[in-house]
């Protein structure tokens, strides 16, 4: 495992973005039957998922979140020194989606951009990467995460179709000498690669569409095996105890899994965030979407100690302990348009 501390970098704001389209338990019941759909919802905690429109790409969701964040903070695009994008569902094979966003957001020529192809651990990996690079050179960074995983899902596959939704988020980072250190623990185990994959549609299988495959038993076993130790390592690196953490924010994959991990770690149920009911598993965006959806009020009012962990495809996992707030901006917007969506992104309703 890789443990590290990065000081002097502060989170200034977080904006999530979800598409307007929804698929509900009632929709699933028409395909899988009422009893099966209800059992799946009860087991996962997911009542509906957000689904991108046919004309929407990952970049559209990410752009809407980033524009809203920059406008809310009053940051000029030219003041951004670094853009890190985390996604597994790029707009094109090449160029990288970060380059497309550099142009669409109007960042200055010479700003550094970087694409990371990570999934459920991606927000923590992206935070570690962006904060570390910002310390090396620059003053302001955008960490953008997002996936349109629904495009990889066979709608008739009941092991994945009821779980995965689409979403994105933008996080603003800035150098600040008074900021408390961020503590990280990161790890990977490539032996887990076959158990969560989408192998079609690439060079090896150009003749078939990419379809998501997941062995849920293996995913659950991996999570219980690696994540608790990673979270404890992040706590130790930060010099914290579980009792001093205000909120445990895990990758929002499954409500039962989240609660089980919280109990295993000794975290109180009311401090373990479960916020996937209306969006589903949104891969790299699940942690910031959960924060923006459930913790906006306390984080804009003051500082909270957050313990984060993302885990999944790869196998890959990353945990972080950091103090966040008071934030200048923390909200979720809904993308209603199909192209250059900053013009059609509106604040989300409370249900979003």
Residues labelled catalytic: 120, 251, 281
Q: CA–CA separation, 309 vs 294, rounded Å?
A: 17
Which residues face 214 on adjacent strands? 196
Q: CA–CA separation, 206 vs 36, rounded Å?
A: 34
Strands in 247-250's sheet, in edge-to-edge order, are 2-6, 182-188, 316-324, 304-312, 247-250
168: alpha, beta or left, given left = phi > 0 and alpha = psi -120 to 50? beta
Q: How far is CA 320 from CA 31, 38, 158, 193, in A?
A: 39, 34, 32, 23
Concatenating the DSSP letter of every residue in 50-80 gives EE--TT--HHHHHHHHHHHHHHHHT--GGG-
163 three-class SS? coil
Alpha helices, H only, 153-265 = 216-238, 255-265
């Amino acid at each position: 495992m890789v443990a590290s501390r990065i000081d002097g970098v502060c989170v200034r704001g977080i904006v999530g973005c979800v598409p307007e389209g929804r698929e509900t338990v009632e929709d699933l019941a028409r395909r899988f039957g009422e009893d099966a759909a209800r059992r799946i919802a009860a087991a996962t905690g997911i009542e509906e998922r957000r689904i991108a429109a046919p004309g929407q790409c990952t970049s559209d969701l990410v752009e809407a979140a980033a524009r809203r964040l920059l406008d809310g903070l009053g940051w000029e695009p030219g003041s951004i020194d670094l853009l890190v994008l985390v996604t597994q569902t790029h707009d094109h094979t090449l160029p990288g989606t970060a380059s497309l966003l550099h142009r669409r957001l109007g960042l200055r020529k010479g700003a550094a951009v970087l694409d990371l192809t990570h999934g459920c651990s991606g927000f923590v990996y992206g935070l570690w990467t962006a904060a570390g690079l910002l310390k090396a050179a620059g003053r302001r960074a955008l960490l953008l995460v997002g996936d349109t995983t629904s495009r990889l899902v066979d709608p008739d596959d009941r092991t994945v179709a009821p779980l995965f939704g689409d979403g994105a988020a933008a996080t603003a980072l800035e150098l600040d000498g008074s900021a408390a250190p961020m503590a990280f623990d990161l790890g990977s185990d490539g032996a887990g690669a076959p158990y969560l994959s989408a192998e079609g549609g690439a060079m090896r299988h150009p003749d078939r569409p990419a379809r998501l495959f997941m062995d849920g038993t293996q995913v659950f076993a991996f999570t219980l095996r690696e994540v608790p130790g990673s979270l404890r390592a992040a706590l130790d690196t930060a010099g914290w105890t579980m009792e001093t953490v205000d909120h445990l924010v895990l990758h929002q994959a499954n409500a039962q899994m989240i609660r089980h991990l919280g109990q295993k770690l000794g975290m109180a149920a009311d401090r373990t965030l479960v916020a996937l009911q209306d969006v589903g598993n949104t891969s790299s965006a699940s942690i910031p979407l959960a924060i923006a959806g459930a913790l906006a009020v306390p984080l804009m009012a003051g500082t909270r100690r957050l313990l984060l962990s993302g885990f999944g495809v790869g196998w890959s996992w990353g945990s972080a302990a950091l103090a966040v707030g008071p934030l200048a901006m923390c909200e979720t917007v809904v993308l209603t348009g199909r192209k250059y969506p900053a013009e059609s992104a509106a604040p989300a309703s409370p249900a979003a």
